[in-house]
């Protein structure tokens, strides 16, 4: 194997490693003050793309490197390094564009239904997606105190006593009532961000006011 190819593999591999470490930190900890903004959506989307791209690239590179060198260990390692780093870069670019596209579509939907874009998107972990709702889907809404029975926030899962933690419900929502509704159409779907001292992670939807 030529030295320049080995150097390329090492360089791309190190670059890919740094990108993946940064991406994992973002996917784990979020984007901070940029949550709910175009920049935040691009960064989070890029992070998702980096992780996926690096994994796919490493596997593909290993197979290609092995195939062209009669399955030598050196060839597979060089292929893995090039694929890992190259895949991370390409995945990050594609993921960034995907994040921007989702933000644009989500912003239109939220605005059309009378919501505040940053406020709504900040309540999700990562980038939520607009998806069609299964016909006559049943959703649940915990309410009480300052939270009324009707609103935008619902969940397709009845989390019971765990709802406050999983859906990051504020203390002002006393959760003394649970209502169920049947909905159709589309909804902004994703997982609840960690807010109000709660863990989040539960499945939540934001829909046109019930």
Token output for 122: 């900040």
Q: Are 141 and 134 in contact (CB under 8 A)?
A: no
User: Domain residue spans in the chain?
Assistant: 3-111, 123-206
The whole-angstrom separation of Cα 158 and Cα 181 is 12
Percent of the chain at pLDDT > 90 equals 96
The helix/strand count (H/E) of the chain reads as 5, 6
pLDDT over threshold 80, residue 132? yes
Q: HSE (CB half, 13 Å, CA atoms) of 70?
A: 1
Q: Where does the pLDDT of residue 209 fall: very low under 50, low under 70, confident under 90, or very high at 90 and above?
A: confident
pLDDT of amino acid 1: 74
Q: What is the pLDDT of residue 144?
A: 98
Copy the structure tokens of residue 8. 């390329």
What phi, psi does 169 have (nearest 5°)?
-80, 135
Q: How confident is the model at residue 135 (pLDDT cuts 50, 70, 90)?
A: confident
Average pLDDT value for residue range 125-129: 97
Sign of torsion over alpha carbons 14, 19, 23, 29: positive
Q: How far apart are CA 95 and CA 178, in angstroms?
A: 38
* Predicted structure pTM score: 0.92
Average pLDDT, the chain: 97
High-pLDDT (> 70) share of the chain, %: 100
Which residue from 38, 159, 14, 169 is spatially nearest to 104, judged by alpha carbons?
Answer: 38
Which helix (DSSP H) or strand (DSSP E) does residue 186 occupy? Answer: strand 186-192
Going by the DSSP 8-state scheme, the letter that residue 155 receives in this structure is B
**pLDDT, tens digit (0-9, with 9 covering 90-100), for 170-197:** 999 999 999 999 999 999 999 999 999 9
Q: Which structure tokens are listed for 195?
A: 């807010």
Q: Is 134 a residue whose pLDDT tops 90?
A: no
Tokens at 78, concatenated: 């060089």
């Amino acid at each position: 194997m030529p030295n320049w190819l080995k150097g390329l593999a090492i360089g791309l591999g190190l670059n890919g490693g740094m990108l993946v470490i940064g991406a994992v930190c973002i996917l784990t900890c979020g984007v901070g003050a940029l949550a709910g903004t175009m920049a935040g959506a691009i960064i989070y989307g890029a992070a998702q793309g980096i992780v996926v791209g690096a994994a796919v690239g490493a596997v593909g590179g290993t197979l290609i490197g092995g195939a062209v060198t009669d399955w030598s260990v050196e060839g597979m390692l060089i292929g893995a390094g090039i694929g890992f780093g190259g895949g991370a870069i390409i995945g990050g670019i594609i993921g960034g564009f995907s994040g921007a596209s989702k933000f644009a579509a989500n912003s239109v939907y939220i605005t059309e239904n009378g919501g505040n874009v940053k406020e709504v998107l900040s309540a999700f972990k990562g980038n939520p997606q607009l998806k069609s709702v299964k016909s006559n889907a049943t959703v649940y809404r915990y309410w009480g105190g300052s939270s009324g029975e009707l609103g935008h926030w619902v969940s397709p899962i009845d989390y019971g006593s765990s709802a406050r933690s999983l859906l990051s419900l504020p203390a002002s929502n006393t959760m003394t009532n649970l209502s169920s509704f049947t909905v159709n159409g589309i909804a902004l779907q994703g997982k609840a961000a960690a807010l109000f001292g709660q863990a989040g992670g539960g499945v939540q939807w934001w829909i046109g006011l019930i």
